[in-house]
Amino acid sequence: MFNRELFIRTLSTRTLGREFRYLPRTGSTNDQLRKICTEENLPGGTLLLTDHQTDGRGRGKRRWYSGKEMNLTFSLLLFPQLSLEDSGFISLMCGVAVVDAIRAGGCSSTGLKWPNDILISGRKLGGILTERFKTDNGPAVIVGIGINVNEDRLQMPGDLQTATASLFTATGRIWRRETLLAAVLGALESYDPARPREILKAWESYCLHVGKTINFHYGSARLRGQFEGLTDRGHARIRVRGQERIFSSGEIEFDDFNN
Ligand code: BTN
């Protein structure tokens, strides 16, 4: 079970995670945090974590699987002072913070796939689902983060075993979820979405496919091109047949796992 005392003792943030809600089991932490928001006046930085997420959601209507008491599945409530266009930075910033924390914990080959998949050796280690909505306290963002921490490959559902990794499968050791979560929040608080340059630079330095040829899906279209980096807004710059194109959403696919 998640050790709340250890987490609080390790936490060094000013606001993120200071309001901490724990549920042994819930459908989706994003859905549950949003529900609590409609019932209570929660402060920005509120964290909701579960040890057993039974109906986890991913981007693009995908599911997010996470084994009981082995991983990190949590959501954060933020009230960013940003325009809708710029709030995409929040997801990039969270991806950077997760990689900061994992690398600081000793797994230096972890990196990012646009927009915010956390990967290791071409396999998915974590994902981020950001959702915006209105509250009485202004526009809010819920950032849901899933990180595969101590799950063994054989414990994962069969169809995920080849495409998914955990910190345990990558490093061969058990990671303390409490200190990792505290490190993610500490890293996150060190960034400011109002200083986007810093975030974009860090993101590009962690990106695993800058300069590489990738397959790209957006809507029902598919193309192949070279990923060149990010625009000032965090959108993808992809060179297709000699011409640079900009995408605010879409999905990158690699030709092989070692890309
Ligand atoms: C993705 O890569 O598709 C995003 C996955 C996001 C999963 C997390 S786990 C905690 C939070 N609650 C959810 O239902 N989803 C996010």
Nearest to 224 by CA among 176, 172, 259: 259
Where residue 257 falls among pLDDT bands split at 50, 70, 90?
very low
Which residues have CB under 8 Å from 52's CB, separation 6+? 24, 25, 26, 68, 69
Which of 54, 61, 70, 73 for mutating ligand 1's site (highest number of atoms within 8 Å of CB)? Answer: 73
Give the residue-averaged pLDDT of 66-70.
95
Number of Cβ within 10 Å of residue 109's Cβ equals 12
Where residue 137 falls among pLDDT bands split at 50, 70, 90?
confident
Query: What's the whole-number average pLDDT of the chain?
Result: 93
Cα 74 to averaged position of ligand 1 atoms, centre (Å) = 8
d(CA 42, CA 202): 30
Where residue 88 falls among pLDDT bands split at 50, 70, 90?
confident
Q: Which residue lies with its CA nearest to atom 3 of ligand 1? A: 58
- For every residue of 212-252, DSSP letters joined together read -EEEEEETTEEEEEEEEEE-TTS-EEEEETTEEEEESS-EE
Give the residue-averaged pLDDT of 99-112.
97
pLDDT surpassing 90 at residue 157:
no
| pLDDT number for residue 200 | 95
pLDDT surpassing 90 at residue 48:
yes
Kindly report, residue by residue over 220-241, the tens digit of the pLDDT: 899 999 999 999 989 999 999 9
| pLDDT number for residue 256 | 62
Backbone angles phi, psi at 246, to 5 degrees: -115, 135
| pLDDT number for residue 84 | 63
Cα 240 to averaged position of ligand 1 atoms, centre (Å) = 31
CA dihedral 12, 193, 138, 118 (to 10 degrees): -70
Q: Which residue lies with its CA nearest to atom 11 of ligand 1? A: 144
Residue percentage of the chain with pLDDT more than 70? 97
Whether ligand 1 lies within 6 angstroms of the CB of 57 is answered as: yes
Give the residue-averaged pLDDT of 120-127.
94
pLDDT surpassing 70 at residue 258:
no
Give the residue-averaged pLDDT of 43-63.
95
